[in-house]
Amino acid sequence: MNIYGFNILSSYLVVEEMMRGLRVPPFDEEVDPIIKKLWQEYYLVISSIAIILLLIISIGAFKIYAGRVINEKNRELEKVVEKLKDAYQEIEKLSMKDSLSNIYNRRYFDKVFPEKFNLAKRSKTIISLLVIDIDRFKEINDLYGHLVGDEIIKVVGQTIDMSLYRAIDFVVRYGGDEFVVFLHDTTEEGALLASNRILSAIRAIKLNSNNEKDDIKITLSIGGVVAIPSKETSVSELFKLADDAMYEAKKQGKNRVKLVKI
């Protein structure tokens, strides 16, 4: 017996199974025409509802699956982003290190010192800035060669770094044979103490040249400024005062420290 739409519905195996027990029973067409008609309509409604339910369940299952996939991809993306952040931070860190001396470079100084300077200005904290230059470096470089000159820069930079006992203080290779030291919350007495400690450590260095029997003697000229930055004081002004003091130390005979206080 064919019922309208039954051929289509029966093509769905799930619906076929669900409706297996709902087959239209045999009716006496003369005795039960009304019952038979009602049963046919009821059978069609139930079949339609079954298909709708099947679609709803399928859509729900798909949404759950899609949600899980999206969550998994989001977690993977978060891991990738975290790795990229770590890589960027590592690159940023490496970009602020001097490849020769393995201490901070001028880029680090230009970024960090203004922050330290402004903090000292707001909190009215005394700071010290030292500009350090290797004495007779050009002569040494010309006499013993660039390899020896590079080794001197490396040793001097690392020695200065080891002479700074506080993590808040730092040294940078500013350029060539010039170094800069920042000392936080440091008075003139503290700056003089740190400078003399650096000078003593450098004097103790002994480097041998392949061409000479004598040790290469290394000395430094240090100029420094001690100040509580005011509203009128600028970063460039403070640096110039320290730089001028360093050249004054050279004029006075090198291998010494010259401090100014403002």
Residues 188 and 237 in one domain: yes
User: Per-residue pLDDT for 178 more than 60?
Assistant: yes
Domain boundary among 95, 125, 160: 95
Tell me the percentage of the chain whose pLDDT exceeds 90.
56
CATH number at residue 247: 3.30.70.270
Residues 152 and 218 in one domain: yes
Structural domain containing residue 39: 1-95
The pLDDT tens digits of the residues spanning 8-39 come to: 444 545 445 544 554 445 545 554 666 666 66
Q: Mean pLDDT, the chain, as a whole number?
A: 84
To the question of pTM greater than 0.75 for the whole model, the response is no
Residues 133 and 250 in one domain: yes
Domain boundary among 62, 95, 128: 95
Catalytic residues: 177
The pLDDT tens digits of the residues spanning 37-89 come to: 666 667 677 777 888 888 888 888 888 888 888 888 788 888 888 877 777 66
Residues 159 and 209 in one domain: yes
Domains in the chain, number = 2
Residues 125 and 30 in one domain: no
Q: Cα–Cα distance between 70 and 133 in angstroms, integer?
A: 59
Residues 140 and 240 in one domain: yes
